[in-house]
Amino acid sequence: MVPAFNERDNLAPLLAEIATALTGRSYEVIVVDDGSTDGTFDALKALRQQYPQLHIITFERNAGQTAAFAAGFRAARAPIVVTLDADLQNDPADIPLLVDTLERTGATAVAGYRATRRDTSWKRLQSRIANGVRNRLNGEVIRDTGCSLKAFRTEAVRALPLFTGMHRFLPTLIKMEGGTVTELPVSHRPRKHGVTKYGMWNRVWRSLQDAFAVRWMQRRALRYRIREEV
């Protein structure tokens, strides 16, 4: 499942790489066009002639990455859903390993972490700060909450309470619902086309606000065990 906002030039190579990575497997690719203005939707419609596995959802206007994830999760038909960015920085070749790890371990989710990040030092610093803040506030140990390359049990992720900004906290939300999360190192590549949608404001300060929201949810979550039911 791929959220896409103004990523027209990345779509053809992304779909080609996914097809190569998943040769011999049954799959669909859900791309959620998050209100793009660069012709992303038209490019996707043209690519559907070449890739019949492509399922396109387009928003009337930009609604954010969490909304795109939510729409994709609802549309998914397979028992496992894998998320990745449309910017080609996530490597589709890692998808089979994520899926196989999920099936082998019995976990609810497998979260990828970028072992070697191919970003500027300034961007890496912002992400390191944001990741540390989120983990500290939420009592977490997730290595790389900002990495979109993850695999989930579809039923589990559909049941999550999602609000704006919650895409950064999917492993934590999974754990709140009693699920288990394992981590796996994945590749990371420099961006070739388009521009990043995240800066200091939405990578650190917005993350801080969202982390407090998740902390409130953690503290107010219902916790009970049924002793007997007659």
Q: Is the pLDDT of residue 203 over 60?
A: no
115 or 202: which leads in pLDDT: 115
Cα three-residue angle 135-140-144, rounded to 5 degrees:
65
124 belongs to a structural domain: no
Say which residues have a Cβ less than 8 Å from residue 217's Cβ, sequence separation at least 6. Answer: 161, 176
Q: Which residues contact 37 (CB under 8 A, 6 or more apart)?
A: 6
Looking at residue 86, its pLDDT comes to: 96
Least confident of 29-33, 125-129, 221-225: 125-129
- Per DSSP, the three-state class of 57 is strand
Which tokens go with 59?
A: 């928003």
pLDDT band for 116, please (50, 70, 90 cuts): confident
Compute the mean pLDDT over every residue in the chain, rounded to the nearest whole number.
Answer: 87
Full domain range(s) for residue 95 = 2-115+144-188
pTM of the model: 0.81
- What's the average model confidence in pLDDT over 19-37? 97
Is residue 161 within 8 Å of 217, Cβ to Cβ?
Answer: yes
In the chain, the amino acid numbered 169 is F
Residue 57 resides in a domain: yes
Whether 213 maps to a domain, the answer reads no
C-alpha to C-alpha distance for 55 and 64, rounded to whole angstroms:
19
pLDDT confidence of residue 142 = 77
The CATH number that applies at residue 53 is 3.90.550.10
pLDDT (0 to 100) of residue 136: 65
